Structure 1
Amino acid sequence: MTDPHLDLAARAGVADERALLSAFADNYRAIFRAKVAGLSEADARRSPVRTGTSIGGLLKHLRWMEQAWFQRVLADEPNLPDRPAGEFFPTNEDTVESLLAEYDAQCEISRRIAAAHELSDTGVHHNLGEVTLRWIYVHVIEETARHAGQADIIREQLDGVTGPEI
């Protein structure tokens, strides 16, 4: 079964700016998710690279990245949990299923927040200062795409599986 988000970017070729940014964000979210499909618990934690980067760790990081940009920066929601110091490393309690569920839930929150704002609406980042939703979309697309590429290489090294083309 093909993920319905995987061709969103292609279908958004003549869409308005909001639809285009939203489609590309969802496209790369789906691409990353597809790279996790069928991954064993052991392989989700395994790292074939010196840095210790694993697909499970990248997935965990992407969940926190979504929260940081959409909830913390754009929506300025107080009382959010802090990003864990080891956000790139799954804990013993983390499973592929739980990490995917948390990521999916966080992406849905991001979508709702984005839908409630104009592209020119701003939030304040602690280092960058004021950033627009437009900027946040571009950054989230860039970061998710970069990590999807890393996941593709890691997955190929782990079990030879390559995912959808980026």
Structure 2
Amino acid sequence: MTMSVMTHPDARIDPSTTAGERDMLEGWLDFHRETLALKCAGLSEEQLRETAVPPSDLSLLGLVRHMTDVERGWFHRVLADEDAPALYCSGEDPDGDFHFTDKDTWADADTAWREAVGRARELAAGRSLDDLGAGEHRSGKQYSLRWIYVHMIEEYARHNGHADLLRERVDGTTGD
């Protein structure tokens, strides 16, 4: 496999190095969201479904589906107490985000993810970073919006590392 440098249009905006706390957190979260989108850009449906290495079910399509449920969990349910059940995971299949059928498409997953992100932005807007979530987390603990932002940055950063490796395995593309 020949290595290539990522040539897709990079829509990411580098987070400010001098912004206040809120803008810094939102900037880094958006940067990582767009990094995941960039890792998936330009690939076929088949390539997006390609798994890492057996026995792992990890794929780029699965990562986007996973992050959809994560966005919905933390912002929709924990922060805003919305009735937003997981779209892909269930008690019967807790890793359902990585288990898909031929009926599950990239277009549907991408749309659901972007809708979850858009709603997350709406729910966080105008709240103080110190605001505690109105919903309940399975741990029984309360979480501030600040904590949710930091956790989401960590979650995306970790999974973007997976996405880097998956993308390189799929087509040899490397890049930030």
Same fold, TM exceeding 0.5? yes
Distance in 2 (CA, whole Å) between partners of 1:149 and 1:128 is 30
Paired amino acid for 2:26 = S
Gap regions ≥5 residues in structure 1: none
Matches within 5 A, 1:128-139: 129-139=141-151
Q: TM-score, normalised by structure 2?
A: 0.85
Return the match for 2:40 from 15, 24, 36.
36
Distance in 1 (CA, whole Å) between partners of 2:23 and 2:140 is 26
Question: Is 1:25 the counterpart of 2:29 in the alignment?
Answer: yes
Q: Which has the larger radius of gyration?
A: 2
The more displaced of 42-51 and 58-67 is 42-51
The structure richer in helix per residue is 1
Matches within 5 A, 1:35-74: 35-50=39-54, 51-74=56-79
1:48 is paired with a residue of what secondary structure? coil
In the alignment, is the contact (CA less than 8 A) between 1:54 and 1:89 conserved in 2? Answer: no
Report how many residues are paired: 159
Question: Is 1:76 the counterpart of 2:92 in the alignment?
Answer: no
Matches within 5 A, 1:1-166: 1-3=9-11, 6-9=12-15, 12-50=16-54, 51-78=56-83, 80-83=84-87, 84=89, 85=93, 86-123=96-133, 124-127=136-139, 129-163=141-175, 165=176
Q: TM-score, normalised by structure 1?
A: 0.89
Runs of 4+ with deviation above 3 angstroms: none
Gap regions ≥5 residues in structure 2: 1-8
How many percent of aligned residue pairs carry the same amino acid?
39
